[in-house]
A and B are shown apart, each in its own frame.
Chain A
Amino acid sequence: MSGRKLDLLQGTLDLIVLKLLRAGRANGWQLTQSIQATTRGVLDVNYGSLYPALRRLEARGLVKAEWGVSENNRRARYYELTATGRKQLAVERDAWERFAAALGAILEAE
């Protein structure tokens, strides 16, 4: 696996973003850094996907955004999980785990 980057399954990016925001508010750049750091570079999120995903989540009311000041004193847009988002994260996480379990079962079956 090492050295190769994975394409994200459709919808997984949403789950990842929700999960990362669970820890607290963050801006887009911080999110990309977190993803890279957490997955040790295995997942490299396309910026072209991240921002649309953020807008999508915002439109669905799962996250809310506001302008804030970054560590280096710049204006940046910060995202935060809404109550709905928190609920949705639970649902999607559950669904994901079931999916992963099912996939694992298939792959491990002889």
Chain B
Amino acid sequence: MLRGWLVRLRGLVAARQERRELEEELRYHLDAETERNMAAGMAEEEARTAARRAMGDLLVARERAREAYGWTWLDHLGQDLRSAVRGLLRDRGVSAFVIVTLALGLGATAAVFSLADQLFLRPPEGVVNPGGVRRLYMRTHFTQDQSPVIQPWVWCAAATAVDSAIAPRARTTEYVAPDTVLMGRAGASGYVNASYVSLGYFRFLGIRAAWGRFFAADENRMDRPEDAHVAVLSYALWQQRFGGDSTILGRVVELGHREFTIIGVAQRGFSGTDLDAADVWMPLASVPPPPAGGEWYRNWRAGGPRLVLLVRADTGTSDAWIAAVATAVYRRGEKANVDVEPDTTATALTGPILASLGPSLTPAPDVAITWRLIGVALIVLLVACANVANLLLLRGVKRRREIAVRSALGIPRGRLIRQLLAESVLLAAAGGVAALLMALWAGRVLRAMLLPTVHWASGGVLDHRLFVFGGALTLAVGVAAGVAPALRASRPDLTEALKSGARNGGGARSRLRTGLMLTQVSLSVLLLVGAGLFVRSLRNVRGIDLGYEMNRLAMGYVLWLTPDGAYDGAYAWKHSRAIGETMTQVAARLSRQPGVESAAAASYMPMRGYAMMRWFLEDGRAVPRLANYDPDAMSVAPGYFRTTGLKLLRGRTFDDGDRKGAPAVVIVDETAARLYWPGKDPLGQCLRPGLPTPSSCMTVVGVTEDAHLQNVIEAPRVEIYMPLAQFPMGAASVIARAAPGEIGTATAAIRRALREAFPDAEPPYVTTGADLIGGQYRPWETGTALFGVLGLLALLVAAVGVYSVVAYSVSQRTHEMGVRMALGARMREVAALVLGRSLVVLTAGVLMGVGLALALGRLVASLLYGVSAHDPLVMVTVALVLLAVGLLASVVPAWRAARVDPVKALGVE
């Protein structure tokens, strides 16, 4: 037995030598035979010929001998693959279509998988035993309206209390979630993601230092922030920004305008535990205080920074116990969260280390979209599979005679199935390779669309797991799509198949094809309905009039920091007048620049305003509030309205006469005019700003159209405009209206002008109106692109599916058509017969699809705007489009059926 295997193995390994030996052996045989013949008296030539004749075909002997070694299956596999390639090349059109279909289906799935992998599957790199780490969340209620909220953070004080309460049975660590901070000085500066972490952070996670060390106890004392100016870099940042410089330790860098000494580099790959990768870590004690003044500042003073709390339980300690202890701490009245009244409703929750899997009331948009993406991608894959199966089925049927002949020649059924499967797996493999390329591209696009802020430090779109996933998927699809057709094709009724190709395609087989066609049609409907809903949502959202012509605007603002790096809101207020005057000069200079039509100074940028003030009417009553909000107020220079495109409805805009000392004037928006002085002329009315008590009258001189304050989608608010010269309000913005196509020139001009005019400020923040609000349209753009592209794809695939099914059934019924024509049926009737049947299937598919869409509508409802998930217009349009496309796909074969020549059809066999 063993020896047999050894021989066989040797046969395989030394196949070539084996062949040579056999040839030599046979040659010896030939020679021996020839000699014997010569001995019997033949001439040499004659003897050799006779010997050769007697021996038969050397080749046959050789092949048979090889077969005896038991490696024929390898030969057969090669043959199967070769014949598969030949078969596929013969039907190039079909093969190409199958490959493209598969590439799209598989590619979409793989790209989505890479996204889902990052969000839901891959634990943070470098963390030891990430499964044992829990995040603590707090569920509580807003005091204002009692609406529930789940927070991924607690105030530092509460974190400390939780820490000591669970200390006997679990360890904790805390950090401030990564946020951007300026690294370096103006000029050679750039933003990095910084996280402030507690003392044991790295040890807790099991992270080692690649270089240098982590924080020491005396560098992280909350009472001595001045000793905490040390920083640890991520390996990636060290490589990218410092070129892996080995003299980095001890170097001083500026982070948020404060100096930090670099003491270490974290181990390669580690970028924190959040989706937002951290580039640099600093001690918790060095967190800068928030801007002085305001509620947030008071809370911070009382509770410290807001911290993410991570817990590692000892063995035997349950999540429930941790949650219970933390809940008790929160309810005991610790300063768990100062935004919330000391409340007894707070509950601690635990979640896995991946924040995207944690508890939440409203999942983050990227998470929400990724879940739907997975669904959509799987649907596309299903459509693709159905289509491929259908095409293979048709090919199989087309080749029935060939298969029957082979079968009659004695090729075993197993071998036949293997040959057919080889074709479908080969097709799938080709599709898989194409899909990989597509996934590479689509994965990048998806990441850019959905998770633009993530660094993706850990690995590219494609990693080995995607390869494994894609490979497994490809194989599964190849086998799944190929096995039914192969089984069917390999079981032909021999005599029938050999006799005729005409009268077949009977019951069960056509039911399977019809089922596949139904699946394709209904799933296409589902995707197209999704696309329609998103298109309508996007149109609705884009159609919202913001008031401003955002696409024409370029704008910038400047801000100042306190010496310890915090935003210095007071500075701008204190120097309001001077800043306002400088800004007005900047605007004047800008408006003379080429590419800029006009420019104006203002206290805020459009869509970035948020200065709520109390206002009073002439009689001292407070103005009515809209949805509990005080009106927003901003100061603008003359020319602001012309620049932003905000239309004046009544009265006048500000002019140079509205200066300090002149009568105080104000412009209100439509909503204010209607709300404050119903039925009266707003012009000439009096509004009194509350500072905080009502001060003297400002006269309304104009009414503008309503403008949005911050969001594309927001409830109506009131905006009140004051002249910058009279009431500067920390004016720190300038807005320019760019000539068409000159937006880039305008932003560059603004950046230059602000740098020159305010050398002591932070580098100016300059942006375009389109960029400022562009992100707000993204959910709908993403949805539209996603459903649109994939929906059209599914439609195309389904159309080809319908065409092939109908065309095939026509070709199978040529005989029947011929009989009908011979019996006097007219062309129109024959065509109607074919079209009628496909109309029935199409209608059924469309109805199924609409039903599915209605049932699944609520899954996307939260992502729509101004349109119901059951929108009848979308449903009907999609249904009609699908019917039309389906019928169109059936017309060509129907026409062909109608042109059957009865004589030929009946005589064809």
Contacts and interface: CB of A to CB of B under 8 A. Distances in A.
**Interaction A to B:** yes
A61 B21 CA distance: 18
B145 interface: no
A75 B4 contact: no
Contacts of A33: 36
A52 B33 contact: no
B29 interface: yes
B25 A51 contact: yes
B22 A51 contact: yes
B3 A29 contact: no
B3 A61 contact: yes
A98 interface: no
A59 B60 contact: no
Interface centre among A29, A53, A60, by most B CB within 10 Å? A29
Interface string A56-79: 101111000000001010111100
B61 A47 contact: yes
Interface stretch (B62-70, B129-137, B443-451, B567-575): B62-70
Nearest to B4: A61
Nearest to A72: B35
B24 interface: yes
A55 B28 contact: no
A77 B21 CA distance: 9
Contacts of B24: 75, 77
B625 interface: no
Interface in B35-81: 35-36, 54-57, 60-61, 64-70
A8 B626 CA distance: 106
Contacts of B64: 48-49, 51-52
A74 B31 CA distance: 10
Given A29-B33, A74-B28, A52 B8 contact: no
A59 B66 CA distance: 11
A35 to B, nearest CB: 13
A27 B31 CA distance: 13
A10 interface: no
A77 B26 CA distance: 10
A59 B69 contact: yes
Nearest to B21: A77
B4 A48 contact: no
Contacts of B31: 74
Contacts of B1: 61
Contacts of B2: 61
A5 to B, nearest CB: 13
B32 A70 contact: yes
Contacts, number: 76
Chain A contact residues: helix, strand, loop or mixed: helix
B184 interface: no
A105 B33 CA distance: 40
Nearest to A48: B61
Given A29-B32, A29-B33, A74-B31, A55 B68 contact: yes
A41 interface: no
Contacts of A54: 65
Nearest to A29: B32
B7 interface: yes
B11 interface: yes
Contacts of B33: 29
Contacts of B3: 61, 82, 84
B61 A52 contact: yes
A84 B3 CA distance: 10
Contact of B56 (A29, A47, A53, A82): A47
B68 A59 contact: yes
A6 to B, nearest CB: 17
A61 to B, nearest CB: 4
Contacts of A58: 7
Given A61-B4, A74-B31, A51 B60 contact: no
Interface in A70-98: 70, 72, 74-77, 82, 84
A27 B21 CA distance: 13
A59 B70 contact: yes
Interface string B277-317: 00000000000000000000000000000000000000000
A47 B27 CA distance: 12
B7 A75 contact: no
A104 B125 CA distance: 81
A72 B28 CA distance: 11
Interface in A1-54: 27-29, 32-33, 46-49, 51-54
Nearest to B70: A59
A51 B65 contact: yes
Contacts of A48: 55-57, 60-61, 64
Contacts of B22: 51, 55
A60 B60 contact: no
Contacts of B32: 29, 70, 72, 74, 76
A49 B66 CA distance: 12
A54 B29 CA distance: 14
Contacts of A29: 28-29, 32-33
Contacts of B28: 27-29, 70, 74-77
B57 A59 contact: no
A82 B2 CA distance: 14
A55 B65 contact: yes
A32 B56 CA distance: 14
B7 A61 contact: yes
Contacts of A72: 32, 35
A60 B4 contact: yes
A54 B21 CA distance: 13
A76 B68 contact: no
Contacts of B57: 48
B69 A77 contact: no
A3 B38 CA distance: 24
A74 B7 CA distance: 25
Contact of A56 (B54, B55, B68): B68
A29 B34 CA distance: 11
B11 A59 contact: yes
A110 B355 CA distance: 92
A52 B28 CA distance: 16
Contacts of A77: 21, 24-25, 28
B18 to A, nearest CB: 9
B25 A76 contact: yes
Interface in B396-437: none
Given A27-B28, A29-B29, 5 more contacts: A29-B32, A48-B57, A51-B26, A59-B70, A76-B25
The list of the 6 closest CB pairs from A to B, nearest first, reads: A61-B3, A52-B64, A56-B68, A55-B68, A29-B32, A48-B61
Interface of B: 1-4, 7-8, 11, 21-22, 24-26, 28-29, 31-33, 35-36, 54-57, 60-61, 64-70
11 contacts: A28-B28, A29-B29, A32-B29, A47-B29, A47-B55, A47-B56, A47-B61, A48-B60, A61-B4, A74-B32, A77-B28
